[in-house]
Amino acid sequence: MKRLLQRSPMYFTSVSLRVFFSGTSIVCFLTLLLGILIGLSLSTIGKETSKISSVSGIQKEYYKELTKKVDDIEEITALQRGDLFQKEKDQNQYESDNTVSRNLYKKVRLLCWILTAGVNHGKKAAHVKATWGQRCNIILFVSGKKDASLPSVAFPVPDEKGHLWGKSREAFKYIYDKYFDQADWFYKADDDTYAIPENMRYVLSRYNTTEPLYFGAKLKKPKVKNFFSGGSGYILSKEALRRFATISLNNKTICKIKGTEGIEEDVMMAKCLNNVGVKLMDSRDEKGRERFLPFQPSDHLVPGKISLDHWYWNNVYYKAKKGEGCCSDTLISLHHLRPEDMYVFDYLLYRVRIHGIYPPRFPEGWTAPPPPDEDGKELPWIGIKEETKKKSNV
Ligand SMILES: *[C@@H]1O[C@H](CO)[C@@H](O)[C@H](O)[C@H]1NC(C)=O
Ligand SMILES: *[C@@H]1O[C@H](CO)[C@@H](O)[C@H](O)[C@H]1NC(C)=O
């Protein structure tokens, strides 16, 4: 309530009026005026909260409103990707050949959508758009606020953190309705995620999108068997998306919606996908090194930066390695980045070449080797605490 009141323009007007009329002779007039203004402010707040409660009331009315909104949505699709390829080539002072990634771009079509909020459009989302976002075949920004300059897709879901699950749910449903035929894989990321679409395509080209698959950084929790970290993002196959949108979202037993505000979006997503037979794939490379990093690169690369009592060591699904061995050469994503870092990564990854070392690329048609747990049989790691206990007992 207080936050809404502060944001209300009426509130500011009443404050400035109070400063302006400081004489005591107009106290009565002021009281009257303030009364009117407060009344008006409250009616604005009333409208806001009724919007919110109709959203948590969910389902029929909500979807009706959604369909209405969907018509006036703007979006950016594939910003002259051909030109971007050329730009990368031109900018490079060395001979550079991106035929392989250009061919894969057509074969493994990737839709990326960024979960953001009104306050972050300029601060964060715009920088995703200016950097790695352009390398997706389609990029969408999903927010509680419509913004023609980004532009963003707005759903009638509040922008506050407790509603991430609501936003994700609606985004995937919307994407299923509008983009199902235009992409092969569907990647969700945050506005502080940096991703490398070329490496996603490389890894995904090993798999068939007609199968119900799902990729990301695998985590677990005491009461949750497995899920993919929302921050480093996760990728759904076409079949996974179809099952989510047409089966999960229509069945309360399979996928709970009511009363789930505040529950983590990534955990809910995994529950709703697990229940319709979507497989959470081992997304590490053939040496078991992580491709989706839930934290900044230095956190993973420098031993000791993630302290031993951090939740990560007990919630990571596969045994995590510290230091150099942590991370794959075919990295897919990083999280918790400052917007300016995105430009640094773009520069380092796409332009800097090291003299004497051939630009990295796998030959045309090369397939990513399988990860250690491709068939998903491996039991989760016991975690660092248990492992230390066991060792000291030996
Ligand atoms: C993917 O699987 C479908 C059937 O499930 C099959 O028709 C298609 O040829 C497969 N595609 C590839 C590239 O293997
Ligand atoms: C919802 O899913 C449950 C569990 O799979 C199933 O028993 C039930 O019939 C489904 N309900 C509808 C309406 O499809």
Does the beta carbon of 80 sit less than 6 angstroms from any atom of ligand 1?
no
First to last CA, the chain: 57
Query: For 53-66, what is the mean pLDDT?
Result: 36
Query: For 262-269, what is the mean pLDDT?
Result: 87
pLDDT at 322: 84
pLDDT at 95: 55
Q: Is the pLDDT of residue 295 over 70?
A: yes
- 86: three-class secondary structure by DSSP: helix
Q: Is the pLDDT of residue 15 over 80?
A: no
| d(CA 252, ligand 2 centre) in Å | 8
pLDDT tens sequence across 211-244:
999 999 999 998 899 999 999 999 999 999 999 9
* Most confident of the following: 41-45, 70-74, 206-210: 206-210
Which of 68-72, 180-184, 245-249, 352-356 has the weakest average pLDDT?
Answer: 68-72
pLDDT at 382: 85
Q: Is the pLDDT of residue 8 over 90?
A: no
Of the pLDDT bands very low, low, confident and very high (cuts 50, 70, 90), residue 359 is low
- 146: three-class secondary structure by DSSP: coil
pLDDT at 80: 33
Which is more confident, 151 or 341?
A: 341
Q: Is the pLDDT of residue 74 over 60?
A: no
CA-208 nearest atom, ligand 1: 1
Which of 31-35, 75-79, 334-338, 382-386 has the weakest average pLDDT?
Answer: 75-79
| d(CA 106, ligand 1 centre) in Å | 17
CA-247 nearest atom, ligand 2: 14
- For the chain, the domains span 2-56, 60-393
Instruction: Give the pair of three-digit tokens for residue 138.
Output: 């389609």
| d(CA 140, ligand 1 centre) in Å | 27
| Protein residue with its CA nearest to atom 12 in ligand 1 | 208
| Average pLDDT in the chain | 77
Q: Is the pLDDT of residue 18 over 60?
A: no
Contact 187, 110 (CB under 8 A): yes
pLDDT tens sequence across 128-146:
988 899 899 999 998 888 8
**Which one of 210, 237, 242 would you pick to mutate in the ligand 1 pocket, going by the greatest count of ligand atoms within 8 A of its CB?**
210
Q: Tell me, what amino acid is at 364?
A: E
| Model pTM score | 0.76
pLDDT at 71: 32
| Protein residue with its CA nearest to atom 6 in ligand 1 | 210
pLDDT at 274: 96
Which of 99-113, 259-273, 323-337, 348-362 has the weakest average pLDDT?
Answer: 348-362
pLDDT at 357: 74
| Protein residue with its CA nearest to atom 6 in ligand 2 | 253
Which is more confident, 159 or 175?
A: 175
Burial class (CB in 10 A: 0-12, 13-18, 19+), 251: middle
pLDDT at 29: 43
Does the beta carbon of 247 sit less than 6 angstroms from any atom of ligand 2?
no
Contact 108, 186 (CB under 8 A): no
| d(CA 197, ligand 2 centre) in Å | 36
Of the pLDDT bands very low, low, confident and very high (cuts 50, 70, 90), residue 327 is very high
Instruction: Give the pair of three-digit tokens for residue 177.
Output: 């309705």
Query: For 156-163, what is the mean pLDDT?
Result: 73
| d(CA 211, ligand 1 centre) in Å | 9
| d(CA 165, ligand 2 centre) in Å | 22
Q: Is the pLDDT of residue 99 over 50?
A: yes
| Protein residue with its CA nearest to atom 11 in ligand 1 | 208
Does the beta carbon of 208 sit less than 6 angstroms from any atom of ligand 1?
yes
CA distance 273 to 270: 5
Of the pLDDT bands very low, low, confident and very high (cuts 50, 70, 90), residue 350 is confident
Does the beta carbon of 251 sit less than 6 angstroms from any atom of ligand 2?
yes
Q: Tell me, what amino acid is at 255?
A: C
Nearest partner of 79 among 132, 22, 1, 42, judged by Cα = 132
| d(CA 206, ligand 1 centre) in Å | 12
**Which one of 208, 238, 367 would you pick to mutate in the ligand 1 pocket, going by the greatest count of ligand atoms within 8 A of its CB?**
208
Q: Is the pLDDT of residue 324 over 80?
A: yes
| Protein residue with its CA nearest to atom 12 in ligand 2 | 251
pLDDT tens sequence across 39-52:
444 444 333 333 32
Contact 210, 180 (CB under 8 A): no
Does the beta carbon of 275 sit less than 6 angstroms from any atom of ligand 2?
no
Of the pLDDT bands very low, low, confident and very high (cuts 50, 70, 90), residue 288 is very high
| d(CA 187, ligand 2 centre) in Å | 28
